[in-house]
Amino acid sequence: MSRVKVFFNSSVNSKIVASLAGLGLVGFVIFHMLGNLQVFEGSDAINGYASILRDMPILLWTARVGLLAVAGVHVGLTLRLALRNRQARSVAYAARRYRFASVASRTMALTGSLLLMFIIFHLLHLTAGVIDPPALDGLDAQGRIDVYGKIVHAFSNPLYVGIYVAGQLVLGLHLSHAVSSVFQTWGIEHAALDHLFKLAGPGVALFVVLGNLAIIFAVFLGLLRT
- Domains detected in the chain: 3-91+102-220 (1.20.1300.10)
Residue 37's H or E segment, with its range, is none
Separation CA 81–CA 15 (nearest Å): 8
Separation CA 180–CA 149 (nearest Å): 37
Does this model's pTM top 0.75? My answer is yes
The CA-based angle 13-19-24, given to 5 degrees, is 130
Instruction: Decide if 149 contacts 226 (C-beta within 8 A).
Output: yes
Structure confidence at residue 1 (pLDDT):
55
The CA-based angle 189-191-193, given to 5 degrees, is 75
157 three-class SS: coil
Tell me how far apart the terminal alpha carbons of the chain are, to the nearest angstrom. Answer: 60
Q: What is residue 2's DSSP assignment?
A: -
Q: What is residue 123's DSSP assignment?
A: I
Q: Which residues lie below 8 Å from residue 119, measured CB to CB, with a gap of 6+? A: none
Structure confidence at residue 186 (pLDDT):
80
Separation CA 204–CA 122 (nearest Å): 21
- Residue 44 — φ and ψ, nearest 5°? -60, -40
Structure confidence at residue 84 (pLDDT):
83
User: How confident is the prediction along the chain (226 residues), in pLDDT tens digits per residue?
Assistant: 577 777 878 888 888 899 999 999 999 999 999 999 999 999 999 999 999 988 888 888 898 899 999 999 999 999 888 888 777 765 555 444 444 567 877 888 899 999 999 999 999 999 888 898 766 668 888 989 899 999 999 999 999 999 999 999 999 999 999 998 887 788 777 766 777 878 999 999 999 999 999 999 999 999 999 8
Helices 108-122 & 158-185 angle (0-180, nearest 10): 130
Residue 154's H or E segment, with its range, is helix 147-154
Helices 194-220 & 11-36 angle (0-180, nearest 10): 40
Question: How many Cβ atoms sit within 10 Å of the Cβ of residue 219?
Answer: 23
Instruction: Decide if 54 contacts 60 (C-beta within 8 A).
Output: yes
Structure confidence at residue 128 (pLDDT):
86
